[in-house]
Amino acid sequence: MTQVSLKTDSLAYGLHGAAQAIVSVREGTALPQALARIFSHSDATPQARGAIQDLSYLSMRKLGVADGLLGLLANKPPQPEVLHGLLTCALSLLLDEADPAYDDFTVVNQAVEAAAADPEMSHAKGVVNAILRRFLRERAGLLPQVEKTPAGAWNYPTWWIDRLKAAYPEQWQAILRAGNAPPPLTLRVNRRKTSVADYLQTLAAQGVGARQVGPDAVRLDKPVPVAQIDGFAAGLVSVQDAAAQLAAPLLDVQDGMRVLDACAAPGGKTGHLLECADIDLVALDHDPKRLRRIEENLQRLQLHAALKAGDARAGGDTDDGWWDGKPFDRILADIPCTASGIVRRHPDIRWLRRKTDTAQLATLSSQILDNLWQMLKPDGKLLLVTCSLWPQESEDQAAAFAQRNQAIRLPAPGQLLPTAGAETDHDGLFYALFQKTGP
């Protein structure tokens, strides 16, 4: 993060940091990695980091309309890119009328301060002031113009909207709205340490509102920082979306089974499997750094798995050393995908993905599935999971896999569309369960 002479607890500091994160996303970096890079080179306090993160995520949810407004308010795209990012972030704050954190004057004033403090943007502080004040004066006329475009109306790329319309002609609008809503904080109660009923009583005694939304799932009425979640450090609960919590029960693991969690990082499903039964579990991921995330989660839960770094496409006919040749009773295949079903948690995904990504990832995932099938015992079960909404990565993938491998398809939820309601509130995941009949 570029060092600037701004108070770390000021909105200007937060806007400046978020502007740099937006630049990184536009250049192709995922937002979590962009933020991690910024924080590693900054003097930001924990509170300042939280502010930068919140502003960055808000901007990703408002990027379509903010860019549309800048197209009307500026004669040409603002340069340098960090200026573009600053204006995007400030406009996103001004657009956040449902729950405004700052009054309009403060946003404009602090955006100008952020520009003035940065040598790259100091020449443009007058431009920042003029553009933001013009938006406030002409908001009523500008927004209808922007909302005539799909990206401006929905804050998604046009190709994404068109693809949803084709796949889900009745539900596409509800899916887009769900993806724009802030996600809930859903917890998985560790059945080895406590029960949902007991944990809800603990929260109630502390005045924390929550409700049960699944067999082991509890949703807090208001999200809080992880460090403030009662019992998290002690392993009583983990953060996991309600839809993702379906994986472990579907795989039906029993004591003594040998289980593979392929593509396992960051380890949410790994932990849930180990909470369900005493199993011999191998957690595989291609990135050794991501395996450390799994290890940290398991240490907190006081559970154990064999962590292996390797390619899920290898280890069968082409052994890369991670598989010992012993077949598995159960395999969880959480295969690579575009992650189009979890954009409410990762709003940058919609701007990072390209139309061609779906076909490329579907090909990679089909290779992984065919290879893992070799490692499954006769009568064993493999659970295919994706966090995608695109049929090419989900239902089409499952149907083609079953045909190629003569796999028996067992009952499973199939495509879960993302919802953001009082009764049902979960991400968009896909589940297909298969059983092996031969060697």
Q: What is the pLDDT of residues 159-192, one digit of tens each?
A: 999 999 999 999 999 999 999 988 999 999 999 9
| pLDDT given for residue 128 in this prediction | 97
> Omega of the bond prior to 418 within 30 degrees of 0, cis?
no
* Residue predicted with more confidence, 258 or 41: 258
Instruction: Work out the end-to-end distance of the chain between its first and last CA atoms, rounded to an integer number of angstroms.
Output: 55
Residue 390's pLDDT band, with cuts at 50, 70 and 90, is: very high
| pLDDT given for residue 3 in this prediction | 58
pLDDT at 318 over 50: no
| pLDDT given for residue 317 in this prediction | 45
Pick the CATH number of 184-240 from 3.90.79.10, 3.30.70.1170, 2.30.30.100, 3.40.50.300: 3.30.70.1170
Mean pLDDT within 40-63: 92
pLDDT at 306 over 90: yes
Q: Which residues are part of the catalytic machinery?
A: 387
pLDDT at 220 over 70: yes
Mean pLDDT within 321-336: 94
pLDDT in tens, 105-162: 999 999 999 999 999 999 999 999 999 999 999 999 999 999 999 999 999 999 999 9
Hey, where are the domains in the chain?
A: 11-151, 184-240, 244-435
How many helices (H) and strands (E) the chain has is answered by 16, 13
| pLDDT given for residue 320 in this prediction | 60
| pLDDT given for residue 424 in this prediction | 79
Helix (H, G, I), strand (E, B) or coil at 188: strand
- In the block, tokens 């536009």 appear at 26
CATH architecture of 11-151: Orthogonal Bundle (1.10)
Mean pLDDT of the chain: 93
Mean pLDDT within 205-219: 93
Output the six-digit token pair for 380: 């064993």
Share of the chain above pLDDT 70, in %: 97
pLDDT in tens, 29-42: 999 999 999 998 88
Pick the CATH number of 244-435 from 3.40.1360.10, 3.30.70.20, 3.40.50.150, 1.20.1560.10: 3.40.50.150
pLDDT at 274 over 90: yes
| pLDDT given for residue 63 in this prediction | 96
Q: How far apart are CA 73 and CA 142, in angstroms?
A: 9
